[in-house]
Amino acid sequence: MLSIRKIGVVGRTYRNLNRYRQILAILFKYGFGDLLELLKIEQYIEVGLQLISRNRRYRLEKLSRAERVRMAFEELGPTYVKLGQIISTRPDLVPVDFARELSKLQDEVPSFAFNEVSKIIETELGSPPEELFDFIDETPFASASIGQVHRAGLEDGETVAVKVQRPGIKKIIEVDLEIMLHLATLMERNIKEMALYRPVKIVEEFARTLEKEIDYTIEAASMERFARHFLDDPTIYIPKVYRDTTTERVLTMELVDGIKVSEIERLEEAGLDRKVITARGADFYLKQVFNYGFFHADPHPGNIFILPDNVICLLDFGMTGSVDRQTREDFVDLIDSVVHQHELRATQVLLKLTSWDDEPDIRMLEKDVADFMGQHLYKPLEDIEIGKLLNQLLELASRYRLMIPPDIFFMMKVLTTIEGVALVLDPDFDMIAQAAPFIERVKLARFYPGRIADDMIKLGSEMLQFIQQFPKDMLEITRLIRQRRISFKMEHKGLENMLATHDQISNRISFSIIIAALIIGSALIVISETPPLFYGISLIGIILFSAAALMGIWLLIAILRKGRL
């Protein structure tokens, strides 16, 4: 478990002042000093940090803000590179232009010394590598931000790949995440525009993702799960995991010698059929998504190898996604309604799949969905690219601040990426046609007798549970009311205008009665010639008549101003 604490009083809570200084210096360097000023960060950091020279900033006026963010992340190191890669897949959390720019980040870092590798293996497995393996290459053949991979051999002659986690990477990640969380909290507190993108939520999701990636036992379990799903499929191969030499920080798996799917010339030289590879690869991912609801969420070409006889082999299972049956069916409804130009239904399903802080303008959303379909979908199905279609839907959701759950987004990203890889292998590939049978099976599965029976049994079980639980809940509520531990508050909404109108009516009636009383009283006083008299007329009566006249004129003007007599 990653141990992340919120930063409060400096000197007691965060662990690495030098790292904080380094992060701030890089942010200044790439022109984000204005952002740090808005964060009011001087309250939280020591005076020494304020001495960072702003003259160290590069002159980057010609670069966009998104490009400067990418460059800063690259210089900030592995944790920030990984953050950029992850949030580049989440246009619901960051603007689309930032997501595109951050997708260019490369996870390439120098390897660490073999003596460190030996120490980690011995600590994790209880023996040095020379006792566990017949041989192990000291030079890694792959290196990334979390770990590096060495070729090794087992006593039975099997060649394996041993992935070893970087020394101290967990501590580095925890320090960086603490500082990230602190900066994100300041953003939400002090910058209204940044608060819209929920930076604290981004950091928290990133922490959860990294927590899975730095535990190799989770990756091993994912590989074994995939192997079970495709055990009887001869066109798919998943490398074997060696559990005896796998721990949280060391992963040993079968070393596969294949050709990367992106190496087109090598595929042709080996006599492999690109069209067959394309169809098999697409079916492989479509089965993951629509049949099993558990899928490899990082399908870039470097993770897909081709073996002899056009067999597909998948590597790097550190990032996976899963969606339940109902979500898969809703996603199919979305694709189906978009492809068949049902804008109202597409809008309803899109809202069902997403969440939001502020309710969107449904009428405007329906209009934009209809405009989107009108611009892009009135053409033959074989000309529709599902990747572009899904990306445009994501942009639409982002515009209305609709939050797409991570696994649904990963599912959309997988389909988009696989279509891109497929079109490189086979420019004539039609993803819509390839996916159509899977979509139809999901739609028809709702009407299978077994599925209907299962749904009825589930509904009956829930109804029975409700009938059993409802009396207990009512008794509990009654008990709480008797003990005065619960109270009801009734609030009428929407009655303010009606009450104001009633007040206005009653005020006018009262005012009219007073005027009438003044007129009648004045007349009686005049008739009775109550002194003092003015030219034989009671002065008091004249004053009261005048007051009644003024009040009458005032009431008439008030009525005329409202425009209603």
The pLDDT of residue 222 is above 90: yes
Average pLDDT in the 266-292 region?
A: 93
Each residue of 519-545: pLDDT tens digit?
A: 888 888 888 877 887 777 888 888 888
Per-residue DSSP letter, 255: P
378-411 confidence digits (pLDDT tens): 555 566 677 777 777 777 887 887 877 777 877 8
Q: Could you say which DSSP state residue 291 is in?
A: I
Task: Quote the pLDDT of residue 57.
Answer: 46
Active site (annotated) includes residue 107:
no
- Inform me whether the pLDDT recorded for 50 exceeds 50: no
pLDDT tens digits, residue range 414-429? 888 888 888 889 988 8
Cα–Cα distance between 60 and 152 in angstroms, integer?
46
**pLDDT, tens digit, 9 for 90 and up, residues 105-164:** 766 678 899 999 999 999 999 999 999 999 999 999 988 888 899 999 998 889 999 999
Residue pointed to by tokens 């515009």: 399
* pLDDT at 245 exceeding the cut of 80: yes
The overall pTM is greater than 0.85? no
pLDDT at 498: 73
* Mean pLDDT value across the chain: 82
Give domain 113-166+215-255's CATH superfamily. Answer: Phosphorylase Kinase; domain 1 (3.30.200.20)
Q: CA-CA distance, 524 to 387, in Å (whole number)? A: 91
* Domain ranges across the chain: 17-107+171-212, 113-166+215-255, 259-446, 500-562
Q: Determine the Cα–Cα distance for residues 37 and 48; give it in Å rounded to an integer.
A: 16
Report yes or no: 401 and 196 within 8 Å, Cβ to Cβ. yes
How many other β-carbons are positioned within 10 Å of the β-carbon of residue 423?
Answer: 16
Determine the pLDDT at residue 344.
85
Active-site hit among 283, 298, 407, 430: 298
Judge whether residue 96 has pLDDT over 60: yes
Neighbours of 192 (CB within 10 A): 10
Question: What confidence tier does 499 reach under pLDDT thresholds 50, 70, 90?
Answer: confident
What's the CA dihedral at 206, 208, 211, 213 to 10 degrees? -70
